[in-house]
Amino acid sequence: METSIVGVGVGITDRFRTVVEEKAVRIEHLAPRAQRLDVKVTHQSYKNGRMEDDTVELTVTGKGPVVRAEATDGDKFAALDMAVDKLCQQLRRAKEKRVDARQHPRGAKFQNGSLQGIDVQPVSADVLHAVATGEIPVITGEDGEGEYTPVVIRTKNFEPEWLTVEEAVDRMELVGHDFFLFIDTRTDHPSVVYRRKGWDYGVISLTTQAPPERAAS
């Protein structure tokens, strides 16, 4: 497995490279089809000048979905340890799900307007309305500077992926997020799967086919 290490605002020492190579053996053992491990270390200094930390981002690519994990700590070696632990946990969980799927084939089916065999429930109309109100301020830009708001929303653009709900759940688990945006192959509707309590999941779908007509002014 090829390993690439880059530093943003921080130098990469030979010692750090050696530790990464040692950790890569553990990752490769859990992901034998992995072809590349990208490690990005970002040093952050805060405005008060008294706080600094390092964020380590790990990305595994190869034959199969991309797997990511990251962690932040005042010491980049500690951040690396935490990120590797997260990544290995995600890989181990995905492996256990694959084994379980072979032993107990999935019975998830879309019948009578609902999913059977997996605890995925549509979100309520009240929640959809709250999401669509636009009352939460949006801050764009890399620095996030601007008028204070308790919620900061970052914006990112991705290429669309057509997946089943079950595949989207698997991808969400691999990247370690609490949600995953995709286009449902069954309906062609933009959808989001999200984590609920335990191993339960939910799904939100947009069903509008065309923008609403506006009254002439």
The string of pLDDT tens digits covering residues 67-122 is: 888 899 989 999 999 999 988 888 887 777 665 555 554 444 545 555 555 555 55
Question: Rounded to whole angstroms, how far apart are CA atoms 171 and 182?
Answer: 10
| pTM flag (> 0.85) | no
Binned at pLDDT 50, 70 and 90, residue 145 comes out as: very low
Mean pLDDT of the chain: 75
Position 4 scores a pLDDT of: 92
Question: Rounded to whole angstroms, how far apart are CA atoms 178 and 155?
Answer: 17
Averaged pLDDT for residues 141-163:
61
120 contacts 201 by C-beta, under 8 angstroms: yes
Q: In 3D, which of 133, 130, 137, 131 has the Cα closest to residue 152?
A: 137
Position 21 scores a pLDDT of: 92
Averaged pLDDT for residues 9-37:
89
AA identity, residue 138? V
The count of other CB atoms within 10 Å of the CB of residue 38 is: 16
Between 145 and 69, the higher pLDDT residue: 69
